[in-house]
Amino acid sequence: MKTVLITGCSSGYGLATARYFLEHGWQVIATMRTPSEDLLPPSDRLRVLALDITDPQSIAAVLDVAGPFDVLVNNAGIGLMGAFEATPMATMREVFDTNTFGAMAMTQAVIPGFRGRRAGTVVNVTSSATLAPFPLVAVYTASKTAVEGFTASLALELQAFNVQVKLVQPGYGPSTNFAANGGSRMEGLLPEPYAAYAQRVFAGYAQLSAVTRPVDVAEAVWRAVHDGSDRLRFPAGPDAVALASAA
């Protein structure tokens, strides 16, 4: 029986992916900053662990108790929407610390085990914002685009050790609480000069008919994990698939 470790399982894509792999008979290590046993169905194949991917000691502690596993899904991330002009550098660094450096830190921590066993898969969850430009998400897009470049290079680097590295690119998912996930860091990022423009942007998002569901991302992660080819990118959701096809 294979085991997957997934980051950011408290909601959205991570939670859906944990459920999906559980339903398909895998052992699941679901990690989140504040563990909650109530989010997932009880199972002897499930462990819920506390993890802060921006804290090296937290990463080391989780990997120490997790034991060997077959797949790492780097899903944890934070959203950010606002005018770049109004975004403090400290906020930019916070986004990169989680979305970019957190994923890198987790990946670097598991590579020795995967390389030593000459087996393993890393799946990095990014965004369809890397497939086409979107307004008011410049910093978020930059953090996810960095992960895309990192992943593409690392996939080549680890081929010699039979370790696969994949990308899953979710489309726009209004059910994932992107804005709520942005937290207080988004306050003040849409000053008056941008208000009318932002209102038009939000109205456009509200009219989208093709959007991504959490289960779309879970299914894409599943396909990426079981893909035996050199394919790198797996768009998730009809809008992301359409953007990828047009790229």
Active site residues: 140
Report the alpha-carbon distance of residue 241 to residue 32 in Å, rounded: 28
What token pair was written down for 128?
């369809």
Of 105, 178, 111, 95, the C-alpha closest to 144 is 95
- Residue 25: alpha-carbon gap to chain centroid: 22
User: Strand locations in the chain, DSSP E?
Assistant: 3-6, 27-32, 46-50, 71-74, 121-125, 164-170, 233-236
Angle, vertex CA 103, rays to CA 42 and CA 66, nearest 5:
40
Q: Position 130: which residue type? A: T
Report the alpha-carbon distance of residue 213 to residue 3 in Å, rounded: 24
Report the alpha-carbon distance of residue 40 to residue 59 in Å, rounded: 22
Contact present, 40 and 23 (Cβ < 8 Å): no
Contact present, 49 and 65 (Cβ < 8 Å): yes
212: how many CB neighbours lie within 10 A of its CB? 26
Report the alpha-carbon distance of residue 33 to residue 163 in Å, rounded: 27
